[in-house]
Structure formats: structure tokens, C-alpha cells
Amino acid sequence: MCNTLGRERVRVSGVRAGHVTLVLAVLVATALIAGCELDDNSTNSVTLYPASVLLDVKETNTVEFTAVGGNISYQWSMNNAILGSIYIATTSTAVALYQNTTNTGTNIITVRDSSGDSANARIVQQ
């Protein structure tokens, strides 16, 4: 049996199997993505800061993202509205705020300039 060692049961105290699985999944995904850029366009003139964020879903967090470069007049989007919302600053489209929900998962924020160049940021909520 997988959960026994000889006749004694093996028990990890204070850690649920689901949490271990989630942590391992995040670590594996991070390791796989570390060597890859989200946007394969090497001549991309738009950069998004910060490029990645880790948020605790037990709290409501607001993160400011800033687009730099490219042709001003940016459009913002994300791939999973269940995980959060984007608010565009009224003074400049180069700044957007992201507010998370209490749902876990990974969200990708994309900013696109008027020439079609884009940059992405990854938000992991756990």
C-alpha cells in the first residue's frame, strides 16, 4: 500500500494532500515556464511590469501593472475573469490595476499597443 511503511502508517502532519499537490503543480509550472517567454515576438517593443505576481487568496489584493514602450494607447485583457478584475487608470492607459478574487488559479494579463505588439504578466493565486 502506498500509505504504509512496514506496518506503520506514514502521515504528514499539518499538510493536506491537496495543498501538497497544488504547491507541486505551481513549482512544476514555474520551472517549465522559467525558460520560456509568454510572447515569442523577439522584436516586441512593449514590456509589462511586474512580469509575475504571487497572491494569497485569503486576502483581497490590488496590484498595479505598468506598460512601457511601444505605441501609446494600450488595451488590456486577461484570460480568466473568475480570478479577478482589471481597472484602467483614467489618466493613462499605461497603468492598470488588478484586483483578485478568492478563487485559486493562474491569470494572464495582456497589454497590447496600437501597433499590435503585446506583453504578458502571470498572476498565480493560491
* CATH number of domain containing 75: 2.60.40.10
- Per-residue b or e along 60-95, where b marks 16 or more CB atoms closer than 10 Å to that residue's CB: ebebebebeebeeebebebeeeebbebeeeeeebbb
Q: What's the confidence (pLDDT) of residue 43?
A: 63
Domain for residue 52, yes or no? yes
Domain for residue 120, yes or no? yes
Q: What's the confidence (pLDDT) of residue 114?
A: 93
Domain for residue 111, yes or no? yes
Q: What's the confidence (pLDDT) of residue 31?
A: 44
Domain for residue 15, yes or no? no
Domain for residue 55, yes or no? yes
Q: What's the confidence (pLDDT) of residue 24?
A: 40
Name the residue range of residue 105's domain.
39-125
pLDDT in tens, the chain (126 residues): 443 334 433 333 343 444 434 444 444 444 444 444 444 444 679 999 999 999 999 999 999 999 999 998 899 999 999 999 999 987 789 999 999 999 999 999 999 999 999 999 999 999
Q: What's the confidence (pLDDT) of residue 96?
A: 97
Please give the span between the terminal C-alpha atoms of the chain, in angstroms, as a whole number. Answer: 31
Domain for residue 49, yes or no? yes
Q: What's the confidence (pLDDT) of residue 11?
A: 35
Domain for residue 30, yes or no? no
Query: How many domains does the structure of the chain reveal?
Result: 1
Domain for residue 28, yes or no? no
